[in-house]
Chain A
Amino acid sequence: MLDLTYDTPKPKRIAGAKHDWELVIGMEVHAQVSSNAKLFSGASTKFGAEPNSNVAFVDAAMPGMLPVINEYCVEQAVRTGLGLKAEINLKSAFDRKNYFYPDLPQGYQISQLYEPIVGEGEVLVEMGDGTARLVRVERIHMEQDAGKSIHDMDPNMSFVDLNRTGVCLMEIVSRPDIRGPEEAAAYLTKLRQILRYLGTCNGDMQSGAMRADVNVSICRPGDYERYEETQDFSHLGTRCEIKNMNSMRFIQQAIEVEARRQIAIVEGGGTVDQETRLYDPDKQETRSMRSKEEAHDYRYFPDPDLLPLEIEQDWVDNIAASLPELPDAKKARFVRDFGLSDYDASVLTADLDSAGYFEDVAQGRDGKMAANWVINELFGRLKKDEKDIANSPVSPAQLGGVIDLIASDAISGKIAKDLFEIVYTEGGDPAAIVEDRGMKQVTDTGAIEAAVDEIIAANPDQVAKAQQNPKLAGWFVGQVMKATGGKANPKAVNQLVAKKLNG
């Protein structure tokens, strides 16, 4: 495999009143594992069911009920780890994180604090300008999601929906390697892309299937390099964690706002308190979530209901062998095999449906041309209709047919666009449509010559002007194309017009 190479992006700098500042960002991404059943129960994970309909006894923490691990969730976590080129821990263990909340029936969340299933991995985050940041993943652990408290249905009561309780989440924890708001969004985008390729999380941020806690701190230029050298966090500022973000746009805003808040504090001679904050997009500010008196002591300890989770290397190897081609590899292959630009390859590999569609179109055809048609014509047209590639009215075979007609000079590029529109709206076989509707390009130079002669003869004034200014030859080309219903081969028309005008 050919590895694409990138320069390292420059960290974002913010000018404070006194100094320049840099940002240091680490993210904890909660990704809901795609699985039919919950992490420790057989209850369904289906989104949007009637409240409290997907609840097993253990999810409701009925007395004496015990968790039993869902092997498929473990497989999904391992698959995710492998997809992030991470170390898989053959032995991991579950811990209880204790706190009281009505949507947490057990009074504790089963998580993996001390021995996570996945260790060190990495995510290559391309910034789209020829630079890319390699963000290290510290760990991935499995944990239970909580339920949902509903406070706005009754003036005096709160309601609890336990459908989500116990659904398996992966918490993907990055190192503080992200250096700006754009990088944070790009990291999340890339992570989402990889998980969707792997089929381990649907990445739907709106339904909460993917959400992020963002740790932000500030430092003076040069300090980060000192941290990198020594791995000593004291070179960095105190971090604040912005909780529960599920919009790319708000993540970027929140980071910027939070960094400016910290800069103002530090430049004003104060110190930043390490704390958890929430972003308010309406007011564009972050707010402290709880005071120190309410600080949680989660009293983590190993869950005695679950034995340590031990998996076999063979099992991991089998999962590794079944991994799909991942975005980096696919993109590199597109660049190499189809001669695409980095940008086009990125666009086409953004999701599996687009990549698959493109490959079908490009098969046995000119890759660049296929990429142009998929990206510019098809994506553009789909966007206009707010459709996605999976629901494209034009199949890869149809689009390939249009491209073939161009390649064989049967139609011109301009006609091809008309043809595409017909195929898009009416369907049908492109070759047959061209035949039936007489859209075929006229390459018979005799016919074209006659048309050229006719136009020249009818427009002596224009001829005189064009002979003075060769740029006006285009007008004759346009007239000839018009007269031939656009079917004349433009190259032939150009040549003939030039020849005739210059006598």
Chain B
Amino acid sequence: MSDLNKLGLAEARDALRARETSSKELTNACLAAIDGAGALNAFVHHTPEKALEQAAQADARLKDADAPAMCGLPIGIKDLFCTKDVPSQAGSRILEGFLPQYESTVSQNLFDAGAVMLGKLNMDEFAMGSSNETSVYGNAVNPWRRGNDAAQLTPGGSSGGSAAAVAADLCLAATGTDTGGSIRQPAAFTGITGIKPTYGRCSRWGIVAFASSLDQAGPMTKSVRDAAIMLEAMCGHDPKDSTSADLAVPDFEAALTGDVRGKKIGIPKEYRMDGMPEEIETLWQDGIAMMRDAGAEIVDISLPHTKYALPAYYVIAPAEASSNLARYDGVRYGHRAKLDQGDGITEMYEKTRAEGFGPEVQRRVMIGTYVLSAGFYDAYYNRARKVRTLIKKDFEDVFAQGIDSILTPATPSAAFGLGEMADADPVQMYLNDVFTVTVNLAGLPGIAVPTGQDRQGLPLGLQLIGRPWEEADLLSSAYALEQAAGFVAKADKWW
């Protein structure tokens, strides 16, 4: 078989089980693709030895017909996941040289399911960013371009390396994490599928924390079916994470009927933003038509507190981050600044954190510290928590009305140019999350599916939001959307 790296998880799995190829061949194809894709800057730590060792084990299991769900399938892991004895820096200088002595639950689950790790993927520093430009490794690059324009585009963020790697066929799939849209936005920017499951579905143990009440891991894949396969392997109850749900994991792939007849799909009027590009509006209308044609009932709904979501998110997430990132102090691991004669512990903290954290991380730590400080706590943090409760209630109300899932655009635009936002107000960058943060605040599952392209040929995606714990149903609806949209475009290889 040729171009093995271009396979999706389901196809490769079937080929492996049919003995048409081997994990070693698949892995080598991906390693070669990675070697040829330095210009994308997607993989930032390469683990070919580990990959080939895992591939050999997988091939042995396949031979014994003892192959678990992801057996022999080569994937990339976002740098936010701690992987044993493999650098895990969260895209930050402050974790320079840090080698975890433990394996995150999600990556361990994937390995237990037979997955092969090719390396670690680029990301915004501590998952804070929407363009991959806050990464200490320099940004990953979107394999897509605007027609023949050579201008480099962002793969989105924070899981930009994961998105670029999957879209460019450097791996069959990748892990991502999503705190405010970090799986769904880059998936939409690169024409791939990404699902953020219900908060508590995937264990957070071993994933470097950004905002603990919002962070969730999820798969970034070439199809909805692949997302179903990989999510099932990733998730499950973990006693090491107190917020992990003790619920059985359904067979997501078996649930992919694509039958949406009689399902009620909600269209929230508040997601029609002023100044939203016409192409996004058209994409949305096309998606609505596809779901209607597939037999779903389209219902206009209202999520009245949507406009407060972004401000609330940019209080809660930095608040938690300011506390979560306090541990990076240069005392025990990672970067420690060189000290001058007479410097004490305060200087050590200040210099280490000033050198170790980039400007966006510093900005969010400052914001978080501010909103939690005495005298401002009620005005910011407590108010944001109240807004969060109202946003959650908005969703509960529409689900109580019988809505099965909600269809929205995934992003307010197609991928933008790298550097384009350099001089913009940070809030402009934060607006990338406008359609996705509500889902994190409410803890719901959300999936981005590529359904069209803009005039310049860039991929665009729609988002489906599901009821809590009903990823199976959500994936099936997303499958229907995927089938109807028939998005098959790939980026032309220029790297």
Contacts and interface: CB of A to CB of B under 8 A. Distances in A.
B150 interface: no
Chain B interface size, as a band, is: 35 or more
Nearest to A309: B242
Contact of B90 (A61, A63, A300, A307): A63
- The B interface, classified by DSSP as helix, strand, loop or mixed, is loop
B383 interface: no
Interface string B199-215: 00000111111011100
B104 interface: yes
A98 B88 contact: no
Contacts of B322: 98, 299
Which of B98, B331, B372, B374 has the most A CB atoms < 10 Å from its CB?
B331
A208 interface: no
A41 to B, nearest CB: 10
A62 B329 contact: no
Given A63-B95, A63-B98, A105 B331 contact: yes
B82 A64 contact: yes
A338 B412 CA distance: 84
A141 B320 CA distance: 22
A297 B213 CA distance: 23
A305 interface: yes
Interface in B52-102: 81-82, 88, 90, 95, 98, 100-102
Interface string A422-451: 000000000000000000000000000000
B240 interface: yes
Contacts of A299: 322-323, 369, 372-374, 377
Interface in A94-113: 96, 98, 100, 102, 105-108
A57 B98 CA distance: 14
Interface string B382-402: 000000000000000000000
Contacts of A106: 326-327
Interface residues of A, number: 29
A102 to B, nearest CB: 5
Contact of A107 (B95, B212, B326): B326
A306 B243 CA distance: 7
B205 A65 contact: yes
A68 B240 contact: yes
A304 B372 CA distance: 14
Contacts of A69: 242
Contacts of A306: 242-243
B345 A297 contact: no
Contact of B323 (A65, A301, A307): A301
A363 B57 CA distance: 72
Contacts of B333: 62
A60 interface: yes
B239 A98 contact: no
A64 B327 CA distance: 11
B241 A158 contact: no
A63 B372 CA distance: 22
Which of B240, B326, B373 has the most A CB atoms < 10 Å from its CB?
B326
A501 interface: no
A57 B102 contact: yes
Contact of B204 (A62, A64, A68, A307): A64
A307 B208 contact: no
A66 B205 contact: yes
Nearest to A108: B323
Interface in B313-363: 319-320, 322-323, 325-327, 329, 331-333, 345, 349
A293 to B, nearest CB: 13
A96 B209 CA distance: 15
A105 B327 contact: yes
A98 B239 CA distance: 26
B381 interface: yes
Contacts of A307: 242-243
Contacts of B369: 299
A307 B212 CA distance: 11
Interface in A280-315: 297, 299-301, 304-307
Which of A62, A68, A69, A158 has the most B CB atoms < 10 Å from its CB?
A62
Nearest to B344: A158
Interface string B180-223: 00000000000000000000000011111101110000000000
B242 A98 contact: no
Nearest to A94: B242
A297 B374 contact: yes
A68 B244 CA distance: 11
A158 to B, nearest CB: 7
A401 interface: no
Nearest to B82: A64
Nearest to B349: A100
B105 to A, nearest CB: 9
Given A108-B323, A304-B320, A63 B213 contact: no
5 contacts: A105-B331, A297-B373, A301-B320, A301-B323, A304-B320
Given A64-B209, A98-B323, A98-B326, 7 more contacts: A60-B332, A64-B205, A66-B240, A98-B322, A107-B323, A299-B372, A304-B211
- A-B pairs, top 6 by smallest CB distance, nearest first, are A107-B326, A304-B213, A299-B372, A304-B212, A61-B327, A64-B206
Interface of A: 57, 60-69, 96, 98, 100, 102, 105-108, 158, 160, 297, 299-301, 304-307
